[in-house]
Each structure stands twice: as C-alpha cells, then as structure tokens.
Chain A
Amino acid sequence: MKIAVLLKKVPDLVEDLEVDASGKELDTDDIKFKLNEYDDHALEEAILLKESGAVDEVVAMAVDGEDVDKMLFTAIAKGADKAVKLTDGNPADSHQLGKAFSNVLESANYDLVFTGVQSVDDRDGQLGPILASYLHVPCVSVVSGVALSGETAVVHKEYSGGMMAEFEVDMPAVLGIQAAKQAPRYAPVSKIRQVQETASIMEASMGDVGSANGSAVASMAPPTKGSGAEMLDDIDDLIDVLKDKGAI
C-alpha cells in the first residue's frame, strides 16, 4: 500500500503581507514561506497510517523551488520513505500544479494521494479534486479521518456544525486532508540534518503543465479598512459598548 503526499510552500501568514509594484501579486521579497499547514496534516495522516501497519510506503512529493529540498528532507525525517522533486517547469496555479503531479503520478504505482484540503493561495481551486480529475480517479475533500480496509478507504468528511459523513472510496483515489488524527509531529533539526546526509531526493520531470486556469488577476489589495471596526481607546469605551449592546 503506497501513499503519495503532495507538499507545497505558502507565505507565512504571520508576515505583514504587501502587494508588489504591479498591484496584482504578493510582494514575496522579504517574507518567509512555510509548508502549507494542511499539507502537513496530510503528511501526518499518511505517516500515522504507515505506523499503524496499514501502509508500506509514504512518498513525499513537491515541485522544486527554494528550500524545497529542506521541506522534503523534513518529510523523510518525520517518517516518509522517499521524496520526489518535480523539475523542468514552474506551475503557476493549482491547475498547472495538478497537471504536473498527474503527469508524474499517472504512471506511478500508488494507492492513495493525500494533499492538504486547500491552501491560502489556491485562487483557482483546490489541488486535490483537480488532480483527481486529471487522473480520472475519485476524490473526497475535507477529510479528517482515514481508515484502510482492503481495496477501499473509509473516510470521514466534515460538514458544518460538527457533522460528519462517512464514505467508502475505491482506490486509487485522492483525498483532500483537513486534519490528521493528531497534530503534525515535530521534526528535530538534528534528525533533518542526519537525513540530509544519508537520504537523497529523487527527481522527476513534470512534463507539460498546460496553461494556467482561466482569468488572470485584475488587482490585489488588502481589504479596505473603511468599513472596518471602530477602534476603541480604553476599557471605559469598551464597557460603554458592552452596556449599549446589552451584554452588561
């Protein structure tokens, strides 16, 4: 049983984000990027399944880029067996990313593909279902519990209000992971360094990723403050508001 986990880096949201000179894109000069937290959950869920004995191999995959090597070595340090880097291309959106992964995965022998349910920058849609569409395999998104049983995966999909639905999915399939059974584990830096010495990252050409999806960005800007909150100066003002609105 083999699971491929797709990882991507996104801007760290603790940063102050600014728009670049073009007015259409994020200014990425000074900001730090980190692993998409949902992809981290996807990796954790895959490793947990491996630790429970249900899965033989977990392969972490990502598109080549700055610090991607470290991200993949970290995945191995956490428990992934192998890492694959997609090269020869620069996918600009979720669709091109999906095409890149599908090019590499369609001839690969995998049973499940896990990826984060969404990311902070996937304006043109979510990777999981897009990839599934290219691969012509089923997909369930917003999954927070995976169990394996022979050729099927039993998954819990989250709805709102705390409700969940249970589905049976025939493999091979793609799952968009919302949350793993436990918080993503920590990877000690010394272990990552050790992995960097001993392990190696495989490379695969991503092939033709097609064109970006649909329309380009017209503009990007922080939400206008005009209609924002009335900022209060001190506790007395706050108490006045609370009284006024019937909280006190």
Chain B
Amino acid sequence: MLSPNEQIAFILLVVVCGRLAFQGFNRIFKTVKSGAKADRSDNLFGRFMNALIDVFLQKPIAKARPIVSMFHSFIFFGFSFYLLVNMNDVLEAYVDGWTTIGSDNIVAKLFNVFADIFSVFVLVGMIFFLYRRFVQKPKVMEFNTNVKLHPGVSAGGLKKDSLIVGIFILIHVGSRWLGTAMHLAGNGHTDSWLPTASIISGLFSNWSHASLETGIHVTWWLAMGLIVMFLPYFPRSKHIHLMIAPVNLALGRKTARGAMDGISNPASPGSKTLSDLPWPQVLDPWACIMCTRCHEVCPAHESGTPLSPSALEINKRYFINEQGNALFNDAGETALMDYAISDDAVWSCTTCYACVEVCPVGNEPMMDIMEMRRNQVFDAKMPDELADVLRSLDEQGNSFNESARRRHKWSKKLDIKLKDATKEPVKYLWYVGDFASFNQNCQDTTRKVAEVLTAAGVDFGIMGKKEKSAGNDVRRTGEEGLFEVLAEQNIKMLEKCDFEEIFTTDPHTFNTLKNEYPDKGGNYTVKHYSTLLLELIQSGDIDLKKKLDIKATYHDPCYLGRYNGIYNDPRDVMKLCGIDLVEMPRNKENSFCCGAGGGRVWLPDHDDMTQRPSENRIEEAVAVGVNNFTVACPKDMTMYADAAKTSGNEDTMVVKDIIDFVLEAMDLPEPIMEEIASSYPNEEVSTEPQSEGLDL
C-alpha cells in the first residue's frame, strides 16, 4: 500500500530508531548486569511460563484496585493483540493488495473483529487513565510532602511521562482506528466484522477517493511511524513495563519470603549504591509502572512519615535516566540515600512486606531498604535508640535492657512449675521470645498459654534464662553480625535440648526459626502456637466445653500471614471456640501492619507522623462493628492495647489474644488448676527453688 519512497523511508526510520532503541535497551542490560549477584536461574522455563500465564490472566494487577485493574486489562488485551495488528499493518504496507478488510477468510474476519473491539478497549482504557491522573487526581497518587523526590519527579515528570504515553497510545490506536474507518468508507460499505470502525466510517462518507487515500497513508504513518519513533523513548519511560514486568515477575524471588538473603560481600555488607543492589532489584525501576499501590498499603506512608516505596523505585529510575552513560563512570557511584530515599525513610520501614505483596510487576522496594540498612549499620549509622537496643541484645540477649536471668520471671506468677527444656526432654520446646517474656502487656497472655497447655496435658518446656532473642528483627535492622551471633548461640543451646517440635507465640520468632535458622545449621520443626492449638483442639486434648457467643475480628500478623501464608489456623481456632468472626476490609494478605516490625517498636515515632498505623487499624475494626480485636502476636497485643487507648476507643474495643478465647471456652474450674499443679509429673507445687525443674 505504501509507495516505494514511503517504504524506504519507513525502513530507514526503523533502522535509525531501532538503533537508538537498541542502545537504550543495551544500557538497561548493562546496568542490570552491574548489580550484585543473585541466582534466579532455576527452572527458567517454568518461571517464564508461569509469569506469562499470570500476566495473561492479569492476576498480579488484580491484587488491588479492582476497577482500575479492569481498565488496565482492556489496555493489556488490546495492546497484546496489537502485536498481530501491527504485523498486519506492515504487511499491508509492503505487500501489494494485502488487507484483511473485506476478506472472506474466517481468520481475517476474526482478526478484524478483535482488532476493532480491542481498539476501542484501549482507547476507553487510556481515556480512563488519563482522566484518573489529570482530572480525578486521586490523593493516593501523591507522595507525602516529606518524601524525598528526584528533581525530575518534583517537576512533574510522572505527569509528563503519562501524558506522552497516553497521547502516543491514543494517536497510535486512534489513528489506526480512523484509518480502518477510512478504508471502509473507501470500500463504500460497512463491515459487521468491524463494528465500531463501521460506525465512524460514516464521518468520511463524502470524502473523495484521493482524500481517503491520503488519509489512509497519514493514519498509517501516524500509527506505525509513531510506534517506531516511540521505541527509543521506551527505555526512558514507564511504558517499558510491558516488556520488563513479565521478565521481572518471571525472575522473581522464589525462596521463602521470610528468609533474607545472605550477605554477598562481608567486607562491605549491604548496599550503598545502585550497583550494590542484587541485579533483580536493579531491574525493578524499569518494571515500575509508578502506580503507587505500594505506598497505598505502606503503614509508614499512610501514617505520614517520609517513606514511599513508590518514590524509591521512581527516584532510582529518574536517576538512571538522568545519568545516562555517566552511570558507568569510575568516578565513584552516588549513594542511593543521596537521591533515592532519605535516612528517616530508611528507618521508617516496618518490614511488613505489603509493598512487595501488592506490586503488580514484582518489585521489591522493601529489600532495597534492608540492604541499605545493612550498609548503614556496618558504618554504625543508625538511630541512637537502635544502638542502645542492639547493645542490650548483645549483652543480655534481650531488647529490654533487663538481666537475662529475669527472662522467665513471667512464670513466677503461675502455680504450675514449667519444665526446663535445657535439662530434661520435652515433646514441645516453647520458644517464648523477648516480648512475650518481658513486656508487661504480654505476660498475661504468656501465662494463659502455659495454663491452657498444662490443662491439656501437653508435654512442653521452656529454656528460661538460657533463651535469647531469636534475632528476626535484629536482622531486619541490618545488624547481620549480631543476628549471626544470636543464631549461633541459640542453635548451640537448642542442640543441647531434647525435643520434637518447637512452638512459639511470636510470629517474628516463628519466621526466623523456620526460614532462616536452617541456613545457620538449625533445622527444626517449628509451629506457631495457633497451629498447635488447632491440632490439640482437633485431637481432643484441648476440650472446648463452652461456645463463646462473641463477635470478634481477627488481625493477621505480618510475619504469620503475608510472610508465611498462615491465615486459617487462628481463624479455625476462633471459630471452634464459637466466635462469630467478622473480617476487616484489609484482611489476610492485605492485613495492615501494627507498625512494630523492622525494629520500629524500638524507635520513636517520626515527628511528621499523623496517626499511628495501629490506631488506623483499630478504627478499621470499630467501623466493622465489633468490640473484640483478636491478635496472635505479642507485639500486636501491646501495640493495639495501646492504640485502643490513644485512639479514644478504650471503652469500645477490647484487645484479645486467641488464647483468651481458648481458655474461656475450656471453662476450667478453679480446683482443676490446683489439681493439675499438684499432679504435675514428679513435681510438687512449691515456691522454693528446687534442683529439678526451672530455677525461678
């Protein structure tokens, strides 16, 4: 269809733009290659197949914003089909007489109808998105004013990019659509296989043949020329996500979420610059679609602090664009914390994993922050409060600056004598953890767990003062060395004990014992106590006599739910107790963090904080009309008990642990507890320290 000159011109355009685009893509490749090593080579075929299927089913994006995701799928399917469409357009241009319009071939007809409908899909979708960004301007797309932004971003770069991409798509698809309409007008009749094009072909019904011909050429050049000219812009634009996102998803982390990567360079741990990051994280900025779903679910951003995972990736991208070839200079790379994220923001992260969970393109901004913390801590750069806590952990094995010998003081108020797992064999070793041991808001819960298990006849013991913090949060503050020391010491102690399984009430402890200790030489069967309780109820060891007629909601702890996929065990326990479970809108993998993780519980609130994440969550519970807020984590217990007070809901919201329900449902008579205490194997109830059993 094109004249020979046009054909040559197009080929030249392709060559020139293709070369420019190639340079851009090559730079991406080089930059990603300069990242630190990471092994994502396992089962490559499976990885890519799964990623393509997920993308085809639009699963990653459907995790949030359902209506927006629907419009995106319009564009996605439309644009995917346009690969065929553009190929057809090239054939039309170079092969004499080639066209699908007016053909009797059923394949051509199907092609036509899909091309027609998808064109409209894309146009509608694109108009929706442009409307959303430029007219509706949802607040969630704004960054907190205290978030560090690259100057290009502050100058409105995101809007500019969106506009360019939007206009390009509108013109590319729109002009092709118009061209088809003109073609139909030229044919003189509509085509039921090209419904929408047929409708607007009426606009051109009184155009002369010559005008139509010109029109067809012009629209062809607008559509095809533009896409070729757009090729070099791809590497600089978020539009490249359509190529990079599937790759990013395919090469995503497949190891356990709760297992942090080891340190690749002990002489200089963590990441200071972009190329210090593992290469999949260097790829992230190009996959990023700048949609802000991550900071929408981020407890730090939502509470007004300077952390936006979205800004982190976007800043990285803008920096890379700005640097161009200078990125590979030996002049010493600029530190990430100089351009991508502020110091305050790095320490605002609670490691809740929500950003990684929700990202539709498989980005991991949280991992960047973990790497930066490692690097900062190695240079002893950290909030002073954190340094004090780390010292306490190093010196006494707990974060409370208490003597290690006081670790089992919580058990003094019990009538029961607990077995010392370091001195005698037990079936279950109860890894109590710092918070459950020392925090006064949590000790009651800890004692109730002991009572329930004793009444159920479970053979369990604790390590008492020989237990040290398992180190989950230590590792997430970047103090890898201290984590290693704690893990080594704990494993050494565990090796001396004789037990079958470990259980703990603390999801943080659970996470590291299960996912990270094997790497350090500690391989154990580890359970969260909700799983153990469920087992015991189902086997009848825990006999639930009462059905509690209580309406309650349940908060999924980050390290139990999102990190380790355990959502149902605590719920099942509650339901077996007769609880009428009411879900909050943000439940299961969308649970909203209490704000204590990642060492945040040891740090003061940021001056800019508008509302604590825990208060926000309590209000969510109030809104669903319950008075009981159920937790299964000691940090959640203390955070929410406090938040119920500070948010003014002390009289309307009671914070309960799942053990409270179990204990109540067991309906143990008072004398039974004493009987249990007195019949406890080989022990007499005594408050005098004895040689066997725990030296209280």
The answer to whether A and B touch directly, with their CB atoms under 8 angstroms apart, is yes
User: Inside 8 A of A205's CB, which chain B residues have their CB?
Assistant: none
- Interface residues of chain A: helix, strand, loop or mixed (majority): loop
A188/B479 contact (C-beta < 8 A), A12-B396, A183-B384 known: yes
User: Inside 8 A of B263's CB, which chain A residues have their CB?
Assistant: 190
Is B624 positioned at the interface, with any CB of A under 8 Å from its CB? no
Is A186 positioned at the interface, with any CB of B under 8 Å from its CB? yes
Quick one: closest A residue to B263, CB to CB? A190
A31 to B380, CA, bound (A): 27
- Contact check: which of A14, A16, A185, A194 meets B380 at CB < 8 Å? A185
Q: Is the CB of A189 within 8 A of B387?
A: no
Interface residues in B466-509 by Cβ distance below 8 A to A read 479-482, 484-485
Is B287 positioned at the interface, with any CB of A under 8 Å from its CB? no
Is A123 positioned at the interface, with any CB of B under 8 Å from its CB? no
User: Inside 8 A of A189's CB, which chain B residues have their CB?
Assistant: 394, 479-482, 484-485
Interface residues in A167-212 by Cβ distance below 8 A to B read 183, 185-194
Q: Is the CB of A32 within 8 A of B395?
A: yes
A193/B481 contact (C-beta < 8 A), A186-B380, A186-B382 known: yes
A6 to B395, CA, bound (A): 21
Q: Is the CB of A188 within 8 A of B406?
A: no
A190 to B377, CA, bound (A): 9
Q: How far is the CB of B286 from chain A (nearest CB, A)?
A: 32
Among A12, A14, A16, A185: residue with most chain B CB under 10 A: A14
Q: Is the CB of B380 within 8 A of A15?
A: no
A183 to B479, CA, bound (A): 19
A192/B481 contact (C-beta < 8 A), A12-B395, A12-B396, A32-B395 known: yes
Q: How far is the CB of B82 from chain A (nearest CB, A)?
A: 52
A14 to B485, CA, bound (A): 21
Quick one: closest B residue to A189, CB to CB? B481
Among A34, A189, A194: residue with most chain B CB under 10 A: A189
Interface residues in B362-385 by Cβ distance below 8 A to A read 377-380, 382, 384
Interface residues in B385-442 by Cβ distance below 8 A to A read 387, 390-391, 394-396, 401-406
Q: Is the CB of A14 within 8 A of B401?
A: yes
A15 to B378, CA, bound (A): 29
A16 to B485, CA, bound (A): 25
A15/B481 contact (C-beta < 8 A), A186-B391, A189-B394 known: no
User: Inside 8 A of B384's CB, which chain A residues have their CB?
Assistant: 183
A32/B481 contact (C-beta < 8 A), A186-B390, A190-B269 known: no
A192 to B380, CA, bound (A): 11
Q: How far is the CB of A74 from chain B (nearest CB, A)?
A: 10
Among A186, A190, A193: residue with most chain B CB under 10 A: A190
User: Inside 8 A of B269's CB, which chain A residues have their CB?
Assistant: 190
User: Inside 8 A of B377's CB, which chain A residues have their CB?
Assistant: 188
User: Inside 8 A of A31's CB, which chain B residues have their CB?
Assistant: 403
Q: Is the CB of A15 within 8 A of B403?
A: yes
Is A30 positioned at the interface, with any CB of B under 8 Å from its CB? yes
A212 to B428, CA, bound (A): 53
Q: How far is the CB of B596 from chain A (nearest CB, A)?
A: 21
User: Inside 8 A of B405's CB, which chain A residues have their CB?
Assistant: 15-16, 30
Q: How far is the CB of B402 from chain A (nearest CB, A)?
A: 6
Q: How far is the CB of A135 from chain B (nearest CB, A)?
A: 32
Q: How far is the CB of A39 from chain B (nearest CB, A)?
A: 14
Quick one: closest A residue to B392, CB to CB? A14
Interface residues in A19-38 by Cβ distance below 8 A to B read 30-32, 34
User: Inside 8 A of A194's CB, which chain B residues have their CB?
Assistant: 266-267
User: Inside 8 A of A78's CB, which chain B residues have their CB?
Assistant: 380
A129 to B384, CA, bound (A): 32
Residue-wise, chain A 30-71 has the 8 Å CB interface mask toward B (1 for contact) of 111010000000000000000000000000000000000000
A244 to B394, CA, bound (A): 46
Q: How far is the CB of B27 from chain A (nearest CB, A)?
A: 34
A190/B266 contact (C-beta < 8 A), A12-B395, A14-B396 known: yes
- Contact check: which of A12, A30, A188 meets B481 at CB < 8 Å? A188
A188 to B396, CA, bound (A): 16
A16/B481 contact (C-beta < 8 A), A187-B380, A190-B378 known: no
User: Inside 8 A of B380's CB, which chain A residues have their CB?
Assistant: 78, 185-188, 191
User: Inside 8 A of B396's CB, which chain A residues have their CB?
Assistant: 12, 14, 32
Quick one: closest A residue to B478, CB to CB? A188
Q: Is the CB of B403 within 8 A of A191?
A: no
A188 to B481, CA, bound (A): 7
User: Inside 8 A of A185's CB, which chain B residues have their CB?
Assistant: 380, 387
Q: Is the CB of A12 within 8 A of B403?
A: yes
User: Inside 8 A of B404's CB, which chain A residues have their CB?
Assistant: 32
A185 to B382, CA, bound (A): 10
Q: How far is the CB of A192 from chain B (nearest CB, A)?
A: 7
Quick one: closest B residue to A184, CB to CB? B387
Q: How far is the CB of B463 from chain A (nearest CB, A)?
A: 15
A211 to B569, CA, bound (A): 68
Quick one: closest A residue to B485, CB to CB? A189
A187 to B644, CA, bound (A): 38
User: Inside 8 A of A12's CB, which chain B residues have their CB?
Assistant: 395-396, 403
Q: How far is the CB of A187 from chain B (nearest CB, A)?
A: 7
Q: How far is the CB of B272 from chain A (nearest CB, A)?
A: 14
Quick one: closest B residue to A40, CB to CB? B391
A34/B481 contact (C-beta < 8 A), A16-B403, A186-B390 known: no
Q: How far is the CB of A8 from chain B (nearest CB, A)?
A: 16
Q: How far is the CB of A3 from chain B (nearest CB, A)?
A: 20
User: Inside 8 A of A193's CB, which chain B residues have their CB?
Assistant: 481
A74 to B600, CA, bound (A): 26
A168 to B138, CA, bound (A): 65
Among A34, A188, A193: residue with most chain B CB under 10 A: A188
Q: How far is the CB of A2 from chain B (nearest CB, A)?
A: 24
Q: How far is the CB of A38 from chain B (nearest CB, A)?
A: 15
User: Inside 8 A of B479's CB, which chain A residues have their CB?
Assistant: 188-190
A189 to B391, CA, bound (A): 10
Residue-wise, chain B 250-281 has the 8 Å CB interface mask toward A (1 for contact) of 00000000000001001101000000000000
User: Inside 8 A of A32's CB, which chain B residues have their CB?
Assistant: 395-396, 403-404
**Cβ contacts A to B, 21 pairs, < 8 Å:** A12-B396, A12-B403, A14-B396, A14-B401, A14-B402, A32-B395, A32-B396, A32-B404, A78-B380, A183-B384, A185-B380, A186-B380, A186-B382, A186-B387, A188-B479, A189-B394, A189-B480, A189-B484, A190-B269, A190-B479, A191-B481
Give B contacts to A, CB under 8 Å.
263, 266-267, 269, 377-380, 382, 384, 387, 390-391, 394-396, 401-406, 479-482, 484-485
Known: A15-B403, A30-B405, A187-B380. 16 other contacts (CB 8 A): A15-B405, A16-B406, A31-B403, A32-B395, A34-B395, A183-B384, A185-B387, A188-B380, A189-B479, A189-B481, A189-B484, A190-B479, A190-B484, A191-B378, A191-B481, A193-B481
The 6 closest A-B pairs by CB, nearest first: A189-B481, A190-B481, A186-B387, A189-B482, A15-B403, A186-B380
